[in-house]
């Protein structure tokens, strides 16, 4: 065999080898997601993820809880004079508008101020507005984890009274699928009608 033919054969084999490797990489299923639920990307940013929090009556609620229900996740704190209350009232009114379909949803209220809001305090606070809503708190670390997962902005402006401080925070209502995938986000002061319309979109 001449050298040029040999070279051509080697080159062809290399091309075939490269193609085979490329094909294998393409077909490779990749690592399995075992730890946290999948979080869908929205405009390049993924929302949702693992969390472990406590209720006022000592239950542990995680992102895997209520697997048969859609979740409504709203963040706030009980020292909040206006926004948090309004959001809870709107969620409650929207659920009422859904009638029986409201059962498909599990509303959650998560405090972003675990220093003052113990699980018991958050539970008593939300019970006042709607007993379907579960109030959640936890250690600062646990709250930081969910704040990060949902990309909530939380900041305590400086120079405030250490007992009576206010907290700046994002005021969105999140709708999550049964498996914890992000579905939608709403403003806390959207009307109950508008919120109910969004809720209806995802009912099975």
Partner 1 sequence: MIKINFAKFSLVLCSLLAVPTIASAQMSENLSISNAWMPALPPVAKSAAIYMDLENIGEEALQLVAVKTDIAEKSEFHTMKMENGIMRMMELEKGITLEPDSRYHLKQGGDHVMLFNLTNVPSTSDNVTLTIVFKDKSEKNVQISVK
User: Interface with partner 1 by CB under 8 A: which residues?
Assistant: 78-83, 85-86, 116, 121, 124-125, 127-129, 153, 157, 161, 163-164, 166, 168-172, 187, 189
Closest CA to 108 of 93, 80, 130, 141: 130
Distance, in Å, from the CA atom of 127 to the CA atom of 73, rounded to the nearest integer, reads: 16
Please, which residue, 51 or 150, has the CB nearer to partner 1? Answer: 150
Please, which residue, 72 or 186, has the CB nearer to partner 1? Answer: 186
Per DSSP bridges, beta strands 172-176 and 182-187 are antiparallel
Q: State the nearest-atom distance from the C-beta of 17 to partner 1, in Å.
A: 52
Q: State the nearest-atom distance from the C-beta of 167 to partner 1, in Å.
A: 9
Q: State the nearest-atom distance from the C-beta of 170 to partner 1, in Å.
A: 5
Q: Cα–Cα distances in Å, from 105 out to 15, 45, 95, 157? A: 55, 24, 8, 34
Per DSSP bridges, beta strands 172-176 and 70-76 are antiparallel
Q: State the nearest-atom distance from the C-beta of 164 to partner 1, in Å.
A: 4
């Amino acid at each position: 065999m001449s050298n040029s033919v040999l070279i051509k054969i080697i080159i062809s084999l290399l091309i075939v080898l490269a193609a085979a490797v490329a094909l294998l990489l393409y077909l490779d299923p990749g690592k399995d997601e075992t730890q946290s639920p999948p979080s869908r990307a929205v405009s390049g940013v993924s929302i949702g993820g693992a969390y472990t929090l406590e209720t006022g009556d000592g239950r542990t609620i995680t992102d895997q809880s209520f697997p048969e229900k859609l979740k409504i996740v709203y963040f706030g704190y009980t020292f909040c004079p206006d926004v948090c209350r309004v959001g809870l009232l709107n969620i409650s009114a929207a659920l009422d508008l859904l009638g029986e379909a409201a059962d498909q949803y599990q509303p959650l209220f998560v405090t972003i101020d675990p220093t003052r809001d113990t699980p018991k305090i958050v539970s008593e606070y939300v019970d006042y507005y709607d007993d379907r809503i579960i109030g959640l708190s936890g250690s600062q670390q646990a709250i930081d984890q969910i704040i990060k997962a949902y990309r909530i902005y939380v900041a305590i402006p400086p120079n405030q009274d250490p007992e009576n401080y206010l907290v700046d925070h994002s005021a969105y209502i999140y709708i999550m699928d049964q498996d914890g995938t992000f579905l939608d986000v709403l403003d806390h002061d959207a009307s109950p009608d508008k919120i109910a319309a969004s809720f209806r979109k995802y009912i099975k």
